[in-house]
Amino acid sequence: MTRPTTSPIYAIGDIHGQLEMLEQALECIEADGGRDAQVVFLGDYIDRGPDSRGVIDLLIRGQTERRDWITLLGNHDRMFAWFMEDIPRHDPHMLVGYHWLHERIGGIETLESYRVAVPERTRLEDVHAAARAAVPDSHVTFLRKLKPMYQTDDLAFVHAGIKPGIALDDQVENDLVWIRQPFHRHTAQHPKLIIHGHTPVDTPTHYGNRVNLDTGAGYGKPLTTAVFEGASAWSLSDTGRQKLAP
């Protein structure tokens, strides 16, 4: 889907269950005059932070209110959606020994936000049954409807990045939610400026051909909001805009 760039577009990086940070980001957007503007959320709404359920509730509420919100698919969101299938599905891109309920991934914290405990020495089938009973159908539907990319005339928004040298319309979902090194190493221009998250950086960073907005909210660091007018970019905080440039 491509939309002409006619007004500011806001983007919010990886949220990872940080509901209070998300609420503050939306307040900053409203203070910037963006109450009715388009907002693109770059995925990874869940895991690691304390209130994944609250984050999804807020996003669903905004869409129900017909806010112009675009919610993209992150790798963590896909892991949650796959876990909620009739038989839990494991993401084969993960390292051997890792899975959604691994202590480093964050699925345990997500389930805890739905009041589903994951005690030691419990069977996966029992946790899965408890999750299926506790997670609202509306949340599962939300996860399954997330899209991997959104485009305007000048920008392409994705969670992780794109595979260099492949047309934007020919990108595959696994790259859009997982890619790192091939995308990060590529210094030539892409067909459009790529706005992404997925790989934490200390501050929002413009690399010339891409802008990374993941600043580690999943680890308790600030959540980044940015605003784009054409290909021009600013980070946005409670003190206003700050220019983002290569």
Residue 29 falls inside a structural domain: no
In-domain check, residue 49: yes
CA separation for the pair 48, 107 (Å, rounded): 7
Cβ partners under 8 Å of residue 233, min gap 6: 193, 206, 211, 226, 227, 243, 244, 245
- 210 is a domain residue: yes
Does any domain span residue 1? no
Classify residue 23: in a domain, yes or no.
no
What is the count of structural domains for the chain? 1
User: Residue holding tokens 């920008």?
Assistant: 155
How many residues would you count in the chain?
Answer: 246
We report the CATH number of the domain holding residue 12 as 3.60.21.10
In the prediction, which pLDDT does 7 show? 85
Whether residue 169 is contained in a domain is answered as yes
Report the distance separating Cα 3 and Cα 16, nearest Å. 27
pLDDT of residue 5: 53
What's the pLDDT score for residue 231?
A: 85
In a domain, 28, yes or no: no
Report mean pLDDT in 10-residue bins for the chain, 246 residues. 69 98 97 95 98 98 97 98 97 96 97 96 96 98 98 97 97 98 97 98 98 97 96 94 96
**Residue 120, burial from CB neighbour count under 10 angstroms (0-12, 13-18, 19+):** exposed
pLDDT of residue 6: 60
Q: Is 162 among the domain residues?
A: yes
Half-sphere exposure at residue 1, Cβ-oriented, CA atoms within 13 angstroms: 10
Q: What is the pLDDT of residue 205?
A: 98
Q: Which residues span the domain enclosing 42?
A: 8-17+35-176+190-244
